[in-house]
A and B are shown apart, each in its own frame.
Chain A
Amino acid sequence: DIQMTQSPASLSASLGETVSIECLASEDIYSNLAWYQQKPGKSPQLLIYYASSLQDGVPSRFSGSESGTQYSLEINSLQPEDEGDYFCQQSYKFPYTFGAGTKLELK
């Protein structure tokens, strides 16, 4: 199975700051990487797909990038509604696998 190593596990940042979350794939996944946001008690929501494509309706302060097997989610100008858990997921090979998640809290 492809392992998705996500870091950091938790993150605390202030309003207006820029943060970055990383996912390292154990093998090449050819940009087949998505990012999801999950708020407490809610279902995950798609933010980014194919490494850097922004899902419709997602604010442009969210962006995705890649470098080799390392994928990043950047959130600019943090807003209160950005608090939550973030997961990466590869869809290149079965079984599809997720990162362990990053909990983002606002100071």
Chain B
Amino acid sequence: QVQLKESGPGLVQPSQTLSLTCTVSGFSLTSNSVHWVRQPPGKGLEWVGAIWSGGSTDYNSALKSRLSISRDTSKSQVFLKMNSLQTEDTAIYFCTRDHYYDGTYYYGVMDAWGQGASVTVSS
């Protein structure tokens, strides 16, 4: 059974760094990609970035200068680090994975989502 679970601090001070972990099960990080998507309270969804099965990354250009996504395949974990946090970074952060069907990966189509990690940026 495919599962993703986010973990991390619920509260981060302005200008500090956010560190989140996504622990996956039911699939391999060397076969499938993981994305981060965030949702500010009461608002829509924003794609943050991805780490692909080969280990390369892509980031939302609006966040790229503050963002780093990495992984530890032996622990089935993906990490998000975002620095210089501001109040507008307050959101639920989801990790998701690419859809795979009938021998084809549909990159950017997210067929499994974690429960989300609520992050509040406040002093």
Contacts and interface: CB of A to CB of B under 8 A. Distances in A.
A91 B44 contact: no
A46 interface: yes
Interface in B84-122: 94, 99, 101, 106-111, 113-116
A98 B44 contact: yes
Contacts of B110: 34, 36, 44, 46, 89
B47 interface: yes
Contacts, number: 60
A73 to B, nearest CB: 15
B108 A95 contact: no
B58 interface: yes
A32 interface: yes
B39 to A, nearest CB: 9
B81 to A, nearest CB: 18
Given A43-B113, A46-B109, A89 B99 contact: no
B11 interface: no
Nearest to B106: A49
A98 B113 contact: no
Interface of A is mostly: loop
Contacts of A56: 101
Given A98-B45, A101-B44, A50 B109 contact: yes
A100 interface: yes
A99 B44 contact: yes
Given A43-B116, A44-B45, A95 B109 contact: no
15 contacts: A32-B108, A34-B110, A36-B45, A36-B110, A43-B114, A43-B115, A44-B94, A45-B113, A87-B45, A89-B45, A89-B108, A95-B59, A98-B46, A98-B47, A100-B44
* 9 pairs of A and B residues whose beta carbons are closest in the complex: A91-B108, A43-B113, A96-B47, A95-B60, A98-B45, A49-B109, A46-B111, A34-B109, A101-B44
Given A1-B61, A49-B111, A99-B44, 6 more contacts: A44-B45, A46-B109, A56-B101, A87-B44, A91-B107, A95-B59
